[in-house]
Structure 1
Amino acid sequence: MTLLQPLRRLSDIVNQVAIVTCIACVLAMLGISFTAFVYKLATGNTLSWTYSLARLFLPWIGFLSMTISLRYGEHVAMTLLVRSLPRVLTVVAAVLCLLVIGLFGALLLWYGWDYFQGTRQVYMVSDQIRVHGKFTAIVVPVSGAIILLHLVQGFDLLEHFIDEREMIDELIESTDGENRP
């Protein structure tokens, strides 16, 4: 267990970095789109490169947000079905779920790395702006590695073992504690 604690902290840190990166990508997209809007208002002409450049951030947002949602247990889960099973089968289903998630992360890492290395494409955003395809391709193996890292969180990634009553009581207690002088 001593090895799991530092890995869990690393998983949390990587998750925070992924959140900040997603926010930065969204802000960059909004900034580029706002620039195009203001330019269109001011000149009546359009900037041809804004849409193409903003679109390059979408894979980063999509793949990284997938890892963030996994970390918080917000992925697709069949919680109602699993909770109706006996406890032993619930644990078996949870282990199988984690194995499938691990397999998906490993496949993203394995095939994503090949995809990244084989990328030769250069996106011609404009005559002056060229972005290599590796910029968007690297997010595939990176997200696979993050998914595999998040697996150290174990059953905390799954909703199957969350007791809603306990969670509601904790939220009420924390809210009551904030309101007291």
Structure 2
Amino acid sequence: MTFLQPLRRLSDIVNQAAILVCVACVLTMLGISFTAFVYKLATGNTLSWTYSLARLFLPWIGFLSMTISLRYGEHVAMTLLVRSLPRVLTVVAATLCMLVIGLFGGLLLWYGWGYFEGTRQVYMVSDQIQISGKFTAIVVPVSGAIILLHLVQGFDLLEHFIDDDTVIDELIETADVEKRP
């Protein structure tokens, strides 16, 4: 499995980049909204383009957040049910789950790329600001590719194999280390 190590590192790097892009999108949205607020306070008028421009970042936040939550095992899972199964059936359920995740990522990539290529609309944010629909459409195949890349993490994406006692022991150990002078 050493051939997967570079891909796993790449998955971690891409995940960190996705986190940075999400933070940048949220900060940009806040900046646009704050600008509109300050402008309204200063002049009494509103900027018509602020809402439309800020809204263009929502697909980026939504789709990239989906890939980030997948990487950390925070996706919808039936952990309690799966953990009550015998070990063999747990592996079968986890394998099926990974296949469904892979299928979803593949569909996002395949159909998302077609959606991106076919996008012709231009968002009229204002008379001067026009943004191509490709800006928001590209996030669909990008998120599909990230999901497929995260699959190299294997069963680490799923909570089914996490030993609760080990996690609790690690948390206690971390808390003890932090309390020491």
Give the alignment's TM-score, normalised by structure 2: 0.98
Structure 2 letter corresponding to 1:59: P
Residue by residue over 1:113-166, the C-alpha shift from the partner in whole angstroms, topping out at 9 and shown as x without a partner, is: 000001001000000000000000000000000000000000000011111111
Match in the other structure for 1:3: 3
- The Cα offsets for residues 59-85 of structure 1, whole Å up to 9 and x where unpaired, read as 000000000000000000011111111
SS at match of 2:131: strand
Q: CA deviation at 1:176?
A: 1.1
Q: Distance in 1 between matches of 2:18 and 2:2?
A: 25
User: Partners of 2:126 and 2:66 in 1: how far apart?
Assistant: 30
Deviations 1:85-104 (A, max 9, x none): 11100000000000000000
Which consecutive unaligned segments of at least 5 residues does structure 1 have?
none
The corresponding residue for 1:158 is 158
SS at match of 1:123: strand
State the 1:2 CA deviation. 1.8
Distance in 2 between the 1:171 and 1:18 partners?
A: 27
Aligned partners of 1:2, 1:89: CA distance in 2, in Å? 27
**Whole-Å separation in 2 of the counterparts to 1:21 and 1:74:** 19
Alignment RMSD, CA only?
Answer: 0.7
Give the percent of matched residue pairs that are identical in Structure 1 and Structure 2.
Answer: 88
Residue in structure 2 matched with residue 73 of structure 1 by the alignment: 73
Structure 2: how far apart are the matches of 1:168 and 1:176?
12
Deviation at 1:180, TM superposition (A): 2.3
* Aligned counterpart, 2:137: 137
User: CA shift at 1:171, angstroms?
Assistant: 1.2
d(CA) in 2 for partners of 1:18, 1:24:
10
Give 1:128's aligned residue: 128
1:3 aligned counterpart, secondary structure:
helix
After the TM superposition, list the runs of 4 or more consecutive aligned residues in structure 1 that deviate by more than 3 angstroms: none
- Counterpart CA distance in 1 for 2:180 and 2:41 is 52
Distance, in Å, in 2 between the alignment partners of 1:173 and 1:86 is 30
Counterpart-to-counterpart distance in 2, 1:66 and 1:58:
12
1:54 aligns with 2:51: no
TM-score, length basis structure 1: 0.98
Task: Within 5 Å, give how 1:1-181 maps onto structure 2.
Answer: 1-181=1-181
* Matched positions, count: 181
**SS of 1:131 mapped into structure 2:** strand
